Amino acid sequence: MKSVYIVAIIIALGAAGWFVLSSSGGDDSSSAGEQQASAIIIPELSAMAKKGQIAFKANCAQCHGSDATGTNQGPPLIHDIYNPGHHNDMSFYRAAKMGTRAHHWQYGDMPPQPQVSDEEIGAIIQFIREVQKANGIVYKQHRM
């Protein structure tokens, strides 16, 4: 009899977990295909990061979300996989200049962004790094 209760509890917990996971997915009514993301902290930005935020919204937000939290077209950059120890600033620079193959996510390859100047890329990187830091994403040595 005790095992029947345990099985019932396991089934109930599994159903509750499925409900939570399925109800937290993307919302088709959001603009530019943005996924619902957990709230992030946007800190008081430096002057350079403010310029980067403007350039990001004009050039990157369509795929990466207005606050770099991702969409159904591109990954969230406010994510630990993009900490400076795994993806350094040059990785972001190269991705913007030359594009990059899909390697952590299933969104497809990122094309080069020739319309974004070197100065804007630097400011965008500053914006991403300041928001990452405010959300606890800091350098972690990458080990393979």
- Sequential DSSP letters for 46-88: -HHHHHHHHHHHHHTHHHH-TTS--BSSS--SSSGGGSTTTS-
Per-residue pLDDT tens over the stretch 50-62: 999 999 999 999 9
Q: Is 139 inside any structural domain?
A: no
Range of the domain at 103: 31-134
Q: Is 99 inside any structural domain?
A: yes
Token pair of 103, please?
Answer: 């390697």
pTM, to two decimals: 0.72
What's the average model confidence in pLDDT over 40-46? Answer: 97
Burial 123-140 (b: 16+ CB within 10 A, else e): bbbbbbbbbbeebebeee
Q: Is 76 inside any structural domain?
A: yes
The C-alpha atoms of residue 111 and residue 59 are separated, in whole angstroms, by: 12
The total of structural domains in the chain comes to: 1
Q: Is the pLDDT of residue 114 over 50?
A: yes
Q: Is 14 inside any structural domain?
A: no
Q: How far is CA 11 from CA 1, 2, 16, in A?
A: 16, 15, 9
What's the average model confidence in pLDDT over 100-123? Answer: 95
Q: Is the pLDDT of residue 35 over 50?
A: no
Q: Is 42 inside any structural domain?
A: yes
Q: Is 9 inside any structural domain?
A: no
Q: Is 79 inside any structural domain?
A: yes
We report the CATH number of the domain holding residue 113 as 1.10.760.10
Q: Is 91 inside any structural domain?
A: yes
Per-residue pLDDT tens over the stretch 6-26: 434 444 434 333 333 333 333
Residue type, 3: S
The C-alpha atoms of residue 41 and residue 132 are separated, in whole angstroms, by: 9
| Torsion angles phi and psi, residue 25, rounded to 5 | -75, -175
